[in-house]
Amino acid sequence: MYPPPVQRLITELGKLPGIGQRTAQRLAFHILRSDAEDATALADAIREVKERIGLCEVCFNLADEARCRICQDERRDASLICVVEEPGDVIPVERTHEYRGRYHVLGGALSPIDGIDPEDLKIAELYARVLAGGITEVVLATNPTTTGEATALHIAAALRERAPDVVVTRLASGLPVGSDLEYADEVTLGKALVGRRTL
Ligand SMILES: [Zn+2]
């Protein structure tokens, strides 16, 4: 229907989450209409993010160097680890200004139905960090969803066995059940952090 390059752009845009065929067409025509400079800036931004951004070697947060900014920051409390599912979950916790420790990004949540087992997440890496010593508390800030809760319980049980001296806490209730951390407002999330309870 369209010249092949246009069809190719529509196909690629349509692979993005939440973008249906019609939206993909609308975006493609918007890009066609925009000036060459803006279109190139978009293409360059996509290329650059793939070339320059990787995962932090310590916590698996997004990083443009071997270690992310938070792991490099000496002022952050290295005895505290906040465990989240995705790199996008670090931002809402940071926005609360209630947390001064470090992070550990799992890369998802346990979901046997979807074939996501402990080996598919950075769980072994978390245990290694805790067992390396110097950690006093692990805050489990996985999402208040079925898979997020299951992941928190799995990690809490394993940590109790491997590192009984480390306090394991979970965000206080008050977060909307079934939602993602990403969508929690900072006041609610801040209160959930302050009121975290021992598991
Ligand atoms: Zn890091």
Is the model's pLDDT at 20 over the cut of 90? yes
Mean of the pLDDT values across residues 52-60?
97
Give the chain's length.
199
Of 191, 161, 188, 193, residue with least CA distance to 83: 193
Q: At what angle do helices 21-33 and 4-13 cross, to 10 degrees?
A: 120
Q: How far is the CA of 23 from the centre of ligand 1 (A)?
A: 36
Q: How far is the CA of 65 from the centre of ligand 1 (A)?
A: 10
Confidence at residue 1, expressed as pLDDT on a 0 to 100 scale: 81
Confidence at residue 155, expressed as pLDDT on a 0 to 100 scale: 97
Mean of the pLDDT values across residues 129-134?
96
Q: How far is the CA of 80 from the centre of ligand 1 (A)?
A: 13
Is the model's pLDDT at 145 over the cut of 70? yes
CA distances to 84, 160, 194 from 149, in Å: 12, 16, 19
- Look at the pTM and tell me if it is higher than 0.85: no
Higher pLDDT, 186 or 46: 46
Mean of the pLDDT values across residues 168-196?
79
Confidence at residue 91, expressed as pLDDT on a 0 to 100 scale: 94
Q: How far is the CA of 59 from the centre of ligand 1 (A)?
A: 4
Residue 167: phi and psi, rounded to 5, are -75, 130
pLDDT confidence tier of residue 93, bands split at 50, 70 and 90: very high
Question: Within 4-138, where are the H helices?
Answer: 4-13, 21-33, 36-52, 69-72, 90-95, 123-131
Instruction: Give yes or no for a contact between 52 and 58, defined as CB atoms under 8 angstroms apart.
Output: no
Give CA–CA dist 118/126, Å, rounded. 11
Q: How far is the CA of 72 from the centre of ligand 1 (A)?
A: 7
Q: How far is the CA of 83 from the centre of ligand 1 (A)?
A: 12
Mean of the pLDDT values across residues 73-93?
96
Q: How far is the CA of 144 from the centre of ligand 1 (A)?
A: 23
Confidence at residue 185, expressed as pLDDT on a 0 to 100 scale: 80
Sign of the dihedral defined by the CA atoms of residues 128, 130, 134, 140, in that order: positive
**pLDDT tens digits for range 72-82:** 999 999 999 99
Is the model's pLDDT at 177 over the cut of 70? no
Is the model's pLDDT at 195 over the cut of 90? no
**pLDDT tens digits for range 62-72:** 999 999 999 99
